Homo-oligomer: A and B are copies of this chain.
């Protein structure tokens, strides 16, 4: 089999052990004679998977008891609409902290539903850093929405210490499960699975119960969080195979040593690539300010377009995939999510060094 270093931004690399396990039991799940995909979502075999995935998430992220865990569909994009539909109140407005293209989209969708406000934005510096957060009052905002990691720009909140509001909502699609964070600070956390949690097709929502109770009731049934809470994410047929894979990923994370070990590895992995940038004497330039650098998405440019093209072409030939940056930043992006192995990051550093040397730098 071809050696591939998968740096895709999402859908992204999955742990090899997870894929191997899924392959092994694809035709016969736990001696039931049929695939997990062929089991009823109301049968005991799938039910056990469903509940185990929740309890592993709870354990790994230290989710307090007063939170519900939901498995929905439609990705973060559907949450962008469901959040204002469920939580906007008349004569009140939510606030959005803009740290990239995904937060912009979230705000845009809120504005389609009602009045919503930009609190602060990093746009003027092309989202190269997480902006200073002003003090936030619950009188000012119904809820405050943040994006914890910005895939396109390669920035990430180093901590949430300066963020205080009674109803914080975080889109953690691209860094959930990558490091420890205080769940109890948030009223709601959501994440499309396709970066750190599993395959595309399932969205994890973690919601404090008091927040859910206050949600609007007059909504299409499927768009109301209450529906999914009441029915334990089984109101309609859930994406059972995606949730099964999520469970396998969570088991893998636990076996590895949980969040602390993942965080240790992620820091080491990201450092390899940031070092290649920082030690290049300007041959490579990082897009993100150092104090806002993402452990998940490392964005950098080369001196000109021609060189960038050459870099991406040679990288591709050597088995590196997914390194082309998003058009709004240009250049390159290495997404080193949980499942990207250390060796892939070492290989990339080596390639970056060698490419630079070859150019006579």
Contact = CB atoms under 8 A, between A and B. Distances in A.
Interface of A: 1-4, 6, 8-14, 16, 19-20, 22-23, 26-28, 31-35, 37-41, 43, 73-78, 80-81, 85, 108-109, 112-113, 192, 194, 199-202, 218-223, 235-242, 245, 319, 321-322
Contact of A4 (B32, B221, B319): B32
Q: Report whether over half of chain A's contact residues are helix, strand or loop; otherwise say mixed.
A: loop
Given A20-B27, A75-B73, A220 B112 contact: yes
B33 A221 contact: no
Given A11-B40, A16-B27, A74-B78, 8 more contacts: A4-B34, A33-B319, A74-B74, A78-B236, A85-B220, A199-B240, A201-B201, A201-B241
A321 to B, nearest CB: 8
A249 B38 CA distance: 13
A27 B38 contact: no
A155 B75 CA distance: 34
A75 B33 contact: no
Contacts of A81: 220-223
User: Which of A19, A22, A220 has its CB near the most chain B CB atoms (within 10 A)?
Assistant: A220
A237 B11 contact: yes
B241 A39 contact: no
B23 A37 contact: no
Contacts of A22: 26
Contacts of A38: 6, 8, 11-14
Contacts of A27: 1, 16, 19-20, 23
Contacts of A16: 27
